[in-house]
């Protein structure tokens, strides 16, 4: 399965490790932001931001599944844009959330808003996500799909 891992940029190292674990389970990781390089000097800031955002949207569309990690404060809002792309009405992308307080209702409403409830699965931690994928989307014994 092709999986896009979304999250806050400040969690890049932690999420890179989670993505590597998913890769070892036979999944293809499409989220290249996990190994993002610095802006080339030949590009302006606006050109670089356009390239990054276009690439991320294309990678979400190329995925079978998007896992949005909700731990940590968003530094750019990117994970929510990626989530919105995956929630397109004609999308067949499996949408999973992990961590944060996505499953907790607060006095002011849902902790991260109503759109997280478009998830096909909401998980407390990455162990639970991996267990779900192993049971429902096991690629290790039948080749990557």
What is the pLDDT at residue 117?
Answer: 80
Tell whether 55 is covered by a domain: yes
Domain count, the chain: 1
Tell whether 144 is covered by a domain: no
Residue 144 has pLDDT above 50, yes or no: no
Tell whether 145 is covered by a domain: no
Tell whether 14 is covered by a domain: yes
Residue 15 belongs to what domain range? 2-136
Q: Which pTM was predicted? A: 0.86
pLDDT (tens digit per residue) in 33-92: 999 878 899 999 999 999 999 999 999 999 999 999 998 888 888 888 999 999 999 999
pLDDT above 90: percentage of residues in the chain: 68
Residue 112: burial class (beta carbons within 10 Å; 0-12, 13-18, 19+) = buried
What is the pLDDT at residue 145?
Answer: 45
Tell whether 59 is covered by a domain: yes
Tell whether 13 is covered by a domain: yes
Residue 31: burial class (beta carbons within 10 Å; 0-12, 13-18, 19+) = buried
CATH of the domain at 100: 3.40.50.450
Residue 50 to residues 44, 55, 59, Cα–Cα distance (Å): 10, 8, 14
Q: Give the pairing type, strands 109-110 and 105-106.
A: antiparallel
Tell whether 17 is covered by a domain: yes
Tell whether 142 is covered by a domain: no
pLDDT above 70: percentage of residues in the chain: 86
């Amino acid at each position: 399965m092709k999986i896009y891992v979304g999250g806050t940029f400040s969690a890049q190292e932690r999420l890179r490790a989670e993505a590597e674990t998913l890769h070892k389970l036979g999944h293809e990781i499409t989220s290249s932001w996990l190994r993002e390089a610095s802006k080339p000097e030949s590009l302006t800031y606006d050109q670089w931001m356009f390239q990054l955002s276009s690439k991320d949207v294309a990678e979400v569309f190329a995925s079978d599944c998007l896992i949005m990690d909700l731990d940590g404060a968003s530094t750019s809002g990117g994970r929510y844009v990626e989530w919105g792309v995956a929630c397109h009405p004609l999308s067949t992308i499996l949408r999973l959330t992990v961590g944060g307080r996505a499953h907790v209702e607060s006095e002011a409403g849902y902790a991260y808003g109503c759109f997280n409830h478009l998830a096909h699965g909401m998980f407390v931690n990455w162990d639970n996500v991996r267990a779900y994928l192993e049971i429902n989307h096991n690629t290790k014994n039948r080749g990557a799909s």
